[in-house]
Amino acid sequence: MTRVGAIDCGTNSIRLLIADAGGAGLTDVVRLMKVVRLGQGVDATGVLAEDALERTFAAAEEYARLLRGHGAEHLRFVATSATRDAANRQVFVDGIRSRLGVEPEVISGDEEAALSFTGAASVLAPRPGQRILVVDLGGGSTEFVLGTADGVQAARSVDMGCVRFTERHLKQDPPSAAEIAAAEADINAYLDEVLAEVPLDRADRLVGVAGSVTTITAHALDLDEYRPEIIHGTDLDGARIAAACTSLLTMSRRQRAALPYMHPGRVDVIGAGALIWRTVNARITELTGGRVDGATTSEHDILDGIALSAAQTACR
């Protein structure tokens, strides 16, 4: 048994997993998320904002204390979309290294996709030969990964996420019909790019991961609080997904903030996440001729993939 630490630093949140890794997989010790909005304004400015860096560094300092306190033997820190895009990412790299004593890895979209698939597949137990399409809907990018129990067959990461699309398209509260139409056209253009590399029509099952998808699922289930043990593994048909997404998209931010399962850091961006997820689901249903109509939600994602890779490194 090896105790490892994994940190996933995305566009909207920074997440920590401390876990014991052994023959049975991962056993959680600590799983924590903080919304720091590192990608604030990156789509427009191309740089990480100073206040966003300060929020991220404060979270990293807290995570460093937890890692020391729980005796994590090996840590892997992965940064994704916002950091990939930022001209001043070295400031981020230096700040993380000084606080955590580890070099943060600014990974490619392809590696992000592979880690997301590994994390989701580790708990889904796909049938032999079953082709699973894992969609990791993040703040700055979305990864599409098609694979089987034997591994990844095709993957593509595109610059489409709930923070990026809120800043780019959905400026009114609630968004106007014209804003929604423009965003939807942009989403479908990105899906055309994905389709050129990933045969989405060959999927046997659609799995959605990350905070937008899990929050949409909580909304569809009308939970009295955010309950990951209920959300994980939930299967929703296309109609329920579309209804939940449309509901969140057309709410005001004040209405979203009143929902008992809504994290405060998602209130302003969940509408864009819902629009992306609704459009992706509809497109997959169309491409598969209705064979795949709906999706499974997984609470296990890239963070689990990072932890598993850290365990493999520690055991070498």
What is the per-residue pLDDT for 315? 64
**String of b and e for 289-304 (b: at least 16 CB within 10 Å)?**
eeebbbbbbbbbbbbb
Q: Which of 43, 37, 82, 278 is nearest to 167 (CA)?
A: 43
If one compares 245 and 11, the residue with the highest pLDDT of the two is 245
Sequential DSSP letters for 128-191: TT--EEEEEE-SS-EEEEEEETTEEEEEEEES--HHHHHHHT--SSSPPHHHHHHHHHHHHHHH
pLDDT-derived band at 316, boundaries 50, 70, 90:
low
Which range (22-36, 152-166, 174-188, 293-307) has the least confidence? 22-36
If one compares 26 and 281, the residue with the highest pLDDT of the two is 281
What is the pTM for the complete model shown?
0.90
- 126 has pLDDT over 80: no
* Residues in contact with 60: Cβ distance below 8 Å, sequence separation at least 6, in sequence order: 7, 14, 95, 96, 99, 100
CA distance 66 to 31: 11
198-210 tens-digit pLDDT: 999 999 999 999 9
